[in-house]
Amino acid sequence: MKVRVDLAKCVGHGRCYVLAPDVFSEDERGHCVLLEETVPPEHAQQARLGQENCPEGAIEVAED
């Protein structure tokens, strides 16, 4: 799975790194940091959870 984050849309709700800590982290301001663009299958469900809980629609996931 591939994950993309549009950082211009991120305002730091922080849902992604709370719900999917193996896929996302946070910078000093609490904005999203994508750990790896390619997500292994064991973290795919986390990535989807992070994506669908972003209130700004800043995260995209593409299944392999």
Does residue 40 belong to the site contacting other proteins (CB under 8 A)? no
Does residue 11 belong to the site contacting other proteins (CB under 8 A)? yes
Show the tokens assigned to 15.
């849902």
Does residue 7 belong to the site contacting other proteins (CB under 8 A)? no
The nearer residue to other proteins, 41 or 55, going by C-beta atoms, is 55
Q: Is the Cα dihedral 21, 25, 28, 32 positive or negative?
A: negative
Show the tokens assigned to 9.
């849309």
Q: How many CB atoms lie within 10 A of CB 3?
A: 24
| Residue of the chain from 6, 36, 37, 52 that contacts other proteins (CB under 8 A) | 52
Three-state SS at 52: helix
Question: By the criterion CB under 8 A, which residues form the site for other proteins?
Answer: 11-15, 17-18, 26, 28-31, 49, 52-56
